[in-house]
Amino acid sequence: MSARIELIVGLGNPGREYADTRHNAGFWFVEEVARKYAGSFKAEKKFQGEAARVDIANHDVWLLKPETFMNLSGQSVLALMQFYKIQLANILVVHDDLDLPAGVARLKQGGGHGGHNGLRDIIARCGGNGFQRLRLGIGHPGDKHRVTGHVLTRVSAEDQAAINSAIDNALAVLPQVVSGDFQKAMNQLHTVTNQD
Determine the pLDDT at residue 1. Answer: 66
Estimate the crossing angle of helix 182-192 against helix 157-179, to 10 degrees: 160
Torsion sign across C-alpha atoms 145, 106, 74, 21 = positive
1 in a structural domain: no
Please state, rounded to an integer, the average pLDDT across all residues of the chain: 94
> Which of 23, 95, 116, 150 is flagged as catalytic?
23
Distances (CA, A) of 136 to 48, 63, 73, 82: 24, 17, 17, 27
Contacts of 42-47 with CB under 8 Å at 24 or more apart are: 43/67, 44/80, 46/79, 46/83, 47/76, 47/79, 47/80, 47/83
174 in a structural domain: yes
CATH number of the domain encompassing residue 165: 3.40.50.1470
- pLDDT band of residue 89 (cuts 50, 70, 90) is very high
107 in a structural domain: yes
Residues 29 and 10: beta-carbon distance below 8 Å? yes
Domain range for 132 is 7-192
Domains: count for the chain: 1
Determine the pLDDT at residue 196. Answer: 42
2 in a structural domain: no
Q: Is 190 one of the catalytic residues?
A: no
Number of other residues whose CB lies within 10 A of the CB of residue 16: 6
**What would the pLDDT profile of 29-86 be if each residue is shown by its tens digit?**
999 999 999 999 999 999 999 999 999 999 999 999 999 999 999 999 999 999 999 9
Amino acid sitting at position 94: V
121 in a structural domain: yes
Non-local CB neighbours of 188 within 8 Å, separated by 6+ positions? 172, 173, 176
**What would the pLDDT profile of 136-166 be if each residue is shown by its tens digit?**
999 988 888 898 888 888 999 999 999 999 9
79 in a structural domain: yes
More confident residue, 195 or 24: 24
